[in-house]
Structure 1
């Protein structure tokens, strides 16, 4: 059964607000290519509780680096505190697949590739994984291909720490044995059993007990208002299509208010 988020805000807005809450004041926040939801989250956090944070969004008109090389060099020096990653597949330990679905030599689907995620997962201080959908195929026990992961073999330096995986159904946290992902909280109105039924690996509900899983607070009126009537204007310069599709009514409403 497809879950429909409660009225008053969209699935995308809920995910943006949840990611924004994880960002801290004074952090240096990096957002990569084709990531409108993390970009919106970074801008929302900076507008509300992280006003002294530095936000670098690939594609912004005032990108202060020469291409991406300087940005990745800054990251390798430890200059980026938090970054967002996703994957076509995410496994039980937070490893991601951005390369192929199926056999590597004869894949069912060939994906764009890592796009620097291997470097990011090794060098960025905090990693927030996100996925805009939540289904068994996207969360398998074993990946078809490992593009990057939150840990390294013994003796290999690895700075990054996985904070969690954020989806429309809730958040998975690396609280299990050896950093295995478990259900940390559910989205408003979502039952833990639903999250488990749409995940291809065990989320530790038997160990914790479904009753012990908290529910995330829904977006506040302040978060939604700031997102819809302030953040979208900056976001539209980078992701105009995303803004038209998901926030078009608020852009039109703001324009009418100004003209009136």
Structure 2
């Protein structure tokens, strides 16, 4: 087992870049995972791990052995080195370097005859993306698709805010045009959350193959989505504002679909 005690080590410097720079993540096809639960979920989600780094005063070798039995490069690191790599204030002493997935639409597979898909167009804030992924996991949707992504899916704050649900969902990314074409090729109905030409969401039948599409709070969905919708839907507001947080809206709509499907 290798030991690295200096935060100035060349490999550690590369991992810091991996944590901080999306360009580095794209170039190497790898990213950094922090925390026992998150690493466990990545393993369960069939992500390939390259290296595990641990600080033994926080995470023991016994815990390490219980985490995985895969043949992975293991590095013991010092407190200084760990603090250089750790993203969270409250932490568990273990990190992993994992290989990214392609997240291609062509890789999506649906076990259910009538899949339920959650689509978010151009979400920018990592916290919102993480919350959307948590909602998707809670509802056990068939897939999450991010249209025109503005934030790297493997941003450490996405992983943190999703509490590892990045790894438990089947996820794809693409531009709006190709996603709409994909949905139509699969005969999946498109329900867009929008203010214009909309009907109350609970009036619609979501039991067939369904994609629920949400946009940003600031600009909503693009014209292309609205023009290709099976139906625009709205959550009636009873206060002074006309919109809510995108992850909250997604949760309301997705769980209405699950209610109609008897949570199967």
TM-score (norm 1): 0.27
Identify, as 1 or 2, the structure richer in strand: 2
Structure with bigger gyration radius:
2
